Structure 1
Amino acid sequence: MIWAGPIISMLLFFACEGRSTLVASEAEKAAAGTVTPTTSSQNPDSLLQEMQKLAASTNSQEQKKLLEFLSSIEAIYRLDPREDHIRKPVNKLRLAQLYQTIRGNDSAPMRETLAALVRSGKPINCDACDTMLIKALAIVRPPTAEVLKFWETHSDPDSVHIKFVIDALADNGTAPAIGLLEKRMVDATIAPEQKIAWMHEAIVQHRRNPVLLASLDRILTTTLPKQLRPHLVESLFDYRPQDWYRVDANVPTPDSQPLTSEARRLLKKIGTTALKKVSLNASQRQAVTKAMREL
């Protein structure tokens, strides 16, 4: 017969050792500031509702709780399991719904929360988090130096996030943001096809912004490559969704904000320059001429 005493003792030892290791691990996390934030809900959908309430708040203390949540990968994975981040499109995650609420809160406390996320510089190895943060930072007007640096880092020519940064820069619309957009537009290391896509999307959606128009006026006949100039012109004066976008694409719509006197002046100037100095095809020339008559 085998005496069970030593075996039981060993099992008890390993059980206690495992529990001690777990406690030590949690203590180390606490010391490092990486413990998952305490929230009242374990259900992902209920947790989303809880976080959306914080995201809609203008209360600094509630924004602090939101910041704590967004800074923790453990918390993010409670909202959407790790495997969902791998197999689902970013816009299908609960995280995207949370960030949609965030982008709708243009309050000073919310802008500070977003800026604090960037300032922390704490990587949490979450591609979807970076994507959503890049887009949400558009509400920080004017962007801080840290926000601009974050955008610049994520818009390097080989970055997977460059398209999202361009969208955010155009959405932001302030001089510092448009300055970075202009820098990327004339970057010779970026493929022309990428830039044409930006023109047909980000620029089409903000083509009445005088700050953007002033930038495009500067580069149209100077630093922008000649083969891209007709595409820029058509993005400002025309709209051909059947030619520009995939059938299954989320089709951008042209800027519909009221046309200011400065925007009108710049569009007239760009149109006049385009008709004289840009090699336009018949369709592009007709679109510019028609739009100029309506200005």
Structure 2
Amino acid sequence: MTARAAHSVARGLAALALVAGLAGCQPDRGSAGRPSIRADGQAAPSASAPVGPPDARGPGGAPAPAAPAATADAGQSAGAEGDSMTMTADQVQVLSTSTDPKELMKAAIAAARSPEPAHHDLLKKHLESGEFLGRLDSEEDYRQAAGRRLRVSRVLEALAVNPLPTARSAFVALAASPVVLAEDERTIALLQASAAVRPAPPELAAFWDKHAQPDDGFTPTTVTVLIENGSPLALALFEKKMADPRHEEGDKIAWMRSRILPHRNDAPLLEACERMLQGGLPKHLRPALVEVLFDYRPGEWYRPASVHSPPDRRKAAPEALGVLRRIGERSLKSIPLSETQRKAVEATLEEIKKLLP
């Protein structure tokens, strides 16, 4: 099933669930494999697992993401391939000639992690080759991607977390490569890995925007990535999508309950929510956003198989608590909240008084 088809199915199921009052988010499609990411934007390990490799988030940032799902080479540890920061001459040759997918992945990850700019350029050239991609992941691997991650996804993740400018430039260039983007699975892999590229350059923001269009099938994944990334351009684009009337309101509520909720301790995201509540978000959707920031109603918001959990507010940074307090105080004065929503805001403000010095 393509990303577009999966998205259509997910949207239909979500709409039915919303009408029934059982869920406020697009349903999960399983515990592992790309269709679960494609349909609901979540990483395979859990319903609310963050996307992308660990990376510093700064004050008020989210916890480090969970480990990625198993690759096509099941049984190998997450750090077993290419642990060395030095790429050998033999590995350079492997990239050009090897037909052993495991050996090839190990060499490619070594190039991605390398401190040498020449290795990053070499890897980019190989990843833009259909012949190389075919040696790395077979047609059968793509057919089985529902249960096993492609090897190329591991390579892209390693490249994305390399902070060197040449590594970042190589990654961003791949996000514009027609060869790489020819397969939906590789596009998903690029999107997922891009969450670690902070701060996001304009070229990457353009890639995200291109894959966050109504009914394109990639938007749920992209929204997850924008919030996970948390850099200014990412959050500005998220605000733009929330304000875009072409995206269905049911989807926006789903993003609130499944994407914003797990990160409601993040100060940059709270600041973005504050801006949306002051003007960017349609007025009739603002109470729903306030509810997600101050309350938690899993019985009303989710189906049993797709429950998302909020972070412990006691672990939020003072900066984040300050923004949340400001949002709460303004919301009580300017947003038409229900009695239940008002009580949730008031209870949280009392909690914040105890948490802040």
TM-score bucket (shorter structure)? 0.7 to 0.9
Say if 2:341 is the partner of 1:289.
no
Count residues with an aligned counterpart. 259
TM-score of the superposed pair, with normalisation by structure 2: 0.63
Offset, 1:48: 2.3
TM-score of the superposed pair, with normalisation by structure 1: 0.75
Going from structure 1 to structure 2, the CA distance change for 1:44 and 1:253 (only over 3 Å counts) comes to farther
Structure 1: give runs of 5+ residues left out of the alignment: 1-36
How much identity, in percent, do the aligned residues show? 34
Going from structure 1 to structure 2, the CA distance change for 1:265 and 1:65 (only over 3 Å counts) comes to same
Match of 2:111? 54
Secondary structure at the aligned position of 2:123 is classed as helix
1:89 to 146, 150, 158: 146
Match of 2:5? none
Going from structure 1 to structure 2, the CA distance change for 1:39 and 1:257 (only over 3 Å counts) comes to farther
Contact 2:181 2:187 in 1 (8 A): no
Q: Greater helix share, 1 or 2?
A: 1
Going from structure 1 to structure 2, the CA distance change for 1:102 and 1:90 (only over 3 Å counts) comes to farther
1:132 to 182, 189, 195: 189
Whole-angstrom CA distance in 2 between matches of 1:187 and 1:115: 26
Whole-angstrom CA distance in 2 between matches of 1:63 and 1:255: 40
Whole-angstrom CA distance in 2 between matches of 1:270 and 1:285: 12
**CA offset digits 1:164-218 (Å, max 9, x no partner):** 2212221221222211110100111111121112112322233233332222212
Contact 1:111 1:139 in 2 (8 A): no
Whole-angstrom CA distance in 2 between matches of 1:252 and 1:75: 41
**CA offset digits 1:214-238 (Å, max 9, x no partner):** 2221221533223322321122223
Going from structure 1 to structure 2, the CA distance change for 1:178 and 1:130 (only over 3 Å counts) comes to same
Whole-angstrom CA distance in 2 between matches of 1:247 and 1:97: 31
Match of 1:69? 126
Going from structure 1 to structure 2, the CA distance change for 1:71 and 1:173 (only over 3 Å counts) comes to same
1:211 to 257, 261, 268: 268
Secondary structure at the aligned position of 1:220 is classed as helix
Say if 2:210 is the partner of 1:156.
no
Structure 2: give runs of 5+ residues left out of the alignment: 1-93, 353-357
Match of 1:10? none
Whole-angstrom CA distance in 2 between matches of 1:91 and 1:183: 33
Going from structure 1 to structure 2, the CA distance change for 1:55 and 1:239 (only over 3 Å counts) comes to farther
**CA offset digits 1:220-261 (Å, max 9, x no partner):** 153322332232112222344555444444846538796444
Residues 260-269 or 187-196, more deviating? 260-269
Secondary structure at the aligned position of 1:58 is classed as coil
Going from structure 1 to structure 2, the CA distance change for 1:69 and 1:281 (only over 3 Å counts) comes to farther
**RMSD over aligned Cα, in angstroms?**
3.0
Residues 75-84 or 160-169, more deviating? 75-84
- The structure that has the greater radius of gyration is 1
Going from structure 1 to structure 2, the CA distance change for 1:219 and 1:93 (only over 3 Å counts) comes to same
Offset, 1:281: 3.9
